[in-house]
Structure 1
Amino acid sequence: MSIVLKVENVEKYYGNKGNLTKAVDGISFQVMDGEFVGIMGASGSGKTTLLNCISTLDSVTSGNIFIKGQNITNFKGKGLAKFRRDELGFVFQDFNLLDTMTVFENIALALSIQGVPAKKMESLVLESARKLGIEDILSKYPYQISGGQKQRASCARAIITDPKLILADEPTGALDSKSAKMLLDSMCKLNLEQESTILMVTHDAFTASYANRIIFIKDGRIFNEIRKGDSTRKEFFNQIIDVVSLLGGEMNDVI
C-alpha cells in the first residue's frame, strides 16, 4: 500500500501576536491508499481547520502536507486550483449542488471544466451515478429530490474525476438517520469495491463507526487513535464512545 496523504507537523494560527489562536498544533499522520479514516473532535478542536488545510481551501502556518508525494503547501494560483480540481473530491454537509442544473449536470460539472467530450462525459456520469444508486434521478433538479439523494449526488460528483483522495466534511450533518445510513453504506461500498481513499470529519459516533480508523483531536492536537480491525461496527461504535468520554465531551455531542 502506498501513502496517499502525509501530514507533517502542521500548525495553523489565526490572529496576530496580541491575540493569537492556535487552531492546529503540530499534527502529523498518514493515510494509506484505500483507507477510510475518520477525524473526530468537539467543536473548536481544530478538525475542520485541519481538513480545510488538507483540502487546500486554507493554508498552513507551518509544516507540510503531501498528497501522493506532492507537497501541496507549495502550490499557488492556477497550479493549486488545477490540483484541487483534478486530484481531490469533496463532499460537503450542505451538498453544494446548483439548483439551476439537473443532477446529471451537477455531477458532470467537474468534467465540463476539464473539457471532457460529451459522449465520454455521459458514460462517466452514468457509471458514477450507478455506484451511488441514483441513476433514476439524473434528470431531476436538486429541489425535486431528498436530502439523502442530494448527498449521494454530491458523492457521485466527488468521485467522477477519480480523485486521489475524497474529503468529506460532516457528510451526514444535514440528513435524517435513514438517509445518513444509506449515504454511509454507499461510502463504504466506494471504499471497499472501488478502493476509494476517504478522509471524513465528523462529530457523530454513529457516522464515525463506518470508518476503519479514527483520529481524535483535542485542542488542536492528536489525542488518540483507534482502528476497527476485526471488530463489528457496533463494537467499534462502543470503542469510539469510550474515547469520546475520555475527551470530556458530552454524549449529546456525538450521538
Structure 2
Amino acid sequence: MNSILTVEKIEKYFGHKGNVTKAIDNISFQVEKGEFVGIMGPSGSGKTTLLNCISTIDTITTGHININNKDITVLKRKALENFRRDELGFIFQDFNLLDTLTAYENIALALTIQNRGTREIDRLIKDVAKKLEIAELLNKFPYQLSGGQKQRVASARALVTEPSLILADEPTGALDSKSARLLLDTFEKLNKEFESTILMVTHDAFTASYAHRILFIKDGRIFNELIRGDDTRKEFFNKIIEVVTLLGGDAGNVL
C-alpha cells in the first residue's frame, strides 16, 4: 500500500513549566492513498489539535508527520508554505470563500498562487466544476449561493490543485441536513471516482458514517478504531454510536 500520511509517535504540549497540558499523547497512524478517514472525539480530546498539526497550521512537540514521503516536521517556513500550497487541500466549516469574488474566482485563487497559466486555470476549473456539478454556479457570488452550494465550491477549490491529501474540519457543521447529505455525496464522489485521500474531523456520527475508517480520540490518545469494511452505511453508523457511548456515556456531548 502507498501511505499518503504517516503520523509517528507525535506529542503536543501547551503551556509553560508548572502548567503544561498534553493535547496529543503519543499518537501514531497511517492513511493510505485513496482512503477516506474520519476522526471523532469529545470536545477537548485533541482531534482539532491533531488536524492542525497535520495541516501545518500548528507544530508538534515531538514525533514526525510524513505526507507524501516528506517529513513536514523538519521543513523551514518557506518550504512549509510551498508544501501546504502544493500538497494539501482544505475544506472548512465556514467555507472561507471571499465575498467579493465569484465562485470561479474563488476556485482560481488556489491555482493563481501556484502561478498556473490563464488557459490552464480555465481548463482545470471547468473540469472540476463539471465533475462536481457546479458549472452553473461559477459566475455567482457567495451571497447568491446556499450553504451547500458554497461548500461544494469550497470542495472544488480544495480539489482543483490535485493535492495529495484533503483535510476537512467539521465540513457539515454549518449545513442543514439536506445540504449536509449532498456535500457528503460529493465527498464520496471525490473519494471513489477521483481517488482523493480525505482526512475529516467531525462530531457527527451520520457524517462519519461516510468514511472508510474512524479514529476515535480521547484525552489526546487513540481510544478506538472502526473499519467499515463491507458494512452498509447504516450498520457502520450504529457501530459508531456504540463507540461514542463508550467514549463518555453521553452521545449528545460527542456528536
- Place the TM-score, normalised by the shorter chain, in its bin: over 0.9
Provide the residue aligned with 1:112 in structure 2. Answer: 112
Residues 26-84 of structure 1 deviation map (CA, whole Å, 9 limit, x = unaligned)? 00000000000000001110000000000000000000000111100011211100000
Tell me, in whole angstroms, the C-alpha distance in 2 between the residues paired with 1:222 and 1:254.
Answer: 15
Tell me, in whole angstroms, the C-alpha distance in 2 between the residues paired with 1:21 and 1:128.
Answer: 43
Q: Which structure 1 residue ranges, 4+ long, deviate > 3 Å from structure 2?
A: none
Residues 137-188 of structure 1 deviation map (CA, whole Å, 9 limit, x = unaligned)? 1000001100001111110000111000000000000000000000000000
Contact 1:205 1:254 survives alignment (8 Å): no
Aligned pairs for 1:22-171 within 5 A: 22-171=22-171
SS of the aligned residue for 2:185 comes to helix
TM-score normalised by length of structure 2: 0.98
Letter in structure 1 aligned against 2:108: A
Runs of at least 5 residues in structure 1 that lack an aligned partner in the other structure: none
Tell me, in whole angstroms, the C-alpha distance in 1 between the residues paired with 2:108 and 2:48.
Answer: 27
SS of the aligned residue for 1:234 comes to helix
Tell me, in whole angstroms, the C-alpha distance in 2 between the residues paired with 1:98 and 1:44.
Answer: 30
Shift of 1:253: 3.2
- Per mean C-alpha deviation after superposition, the further-off stretch among 119-128 and 171-180 is 119-128
Contact 1:42 1:249 survives alignment (8 Å): no
Contact 2:41 2:254 survives alignment (8 Å): no
Provide the residue aligned with 1:239 in structure 2. Answer: 239
1:250 aligns with 2:245: no
Shift of 1:251: 2.3
Tell me, in whole angstroms, the C-alpha distance in 2 between the residues paired with 1:123 and 1:94.
Answer: 27
SS of the aligned residue for 1:107 comes to helix
Aligned pairs for 1:3-22 within 5 A: 3-22=3-22
SS of the aligned residue for 1:215 comes to strand
SS of the aligned residue for 1:224 comes to strand
Tell me, in whole angstroms, the C-alpha distance in 1 between the residues paired with 2:242 and 2:9.
Answer: 27
Tell me, in whole angstroms, the C-alpha distance in 2 between the residues paired with 1:76 and 1:199.
Answer: 24
Residues 110-131 of structure 1 deviation map (CA, whole Å, 9 limit, x = unaligned)? 1111111111111100111122
SS of the aligned residue for 1:58 comes to coil
SS of the aligned residue for 1:162 comes to coil
Runs of at least 5 residues in structure 2 that lack an aligned partner in the other structure: none
Provide the residue aligned with 2:178 in structure 1. Answer: 178
Letter in structure 2 aligned against 1:238: N
C-alpha spacing 1:19/1:195, structure 2 compared with 1 (3 Å):
same
Tell me, in whole angstroms, the C-alpha distance in 2 between the residues paired with 1:172 and 1:75.
Answer: 32
Identical counterparts, % of pairs: 67
C-alpha spacing 1:185/1:86, structure 2 compared with 1 (3 Å):
same
Shift of 1:254: 4.5
Provide the residue aligned with 1:193 in structure 2. Answer: 193
Tell me, in whole angstroms, the C-alpha distance in 1 between the residues paired with 2:79 and 2:249.
Answer: 40
Contact 1:203 1:253 survives alignment (8 Å): no
Tell me, in whole angstroms, the C-alpha distance in 2 between the residues paired with 1:121 and 1:251.
Answer: 45
C-alpha spacing 1:249/1:162, structure 2 compared with 1 (3 Å):
farther
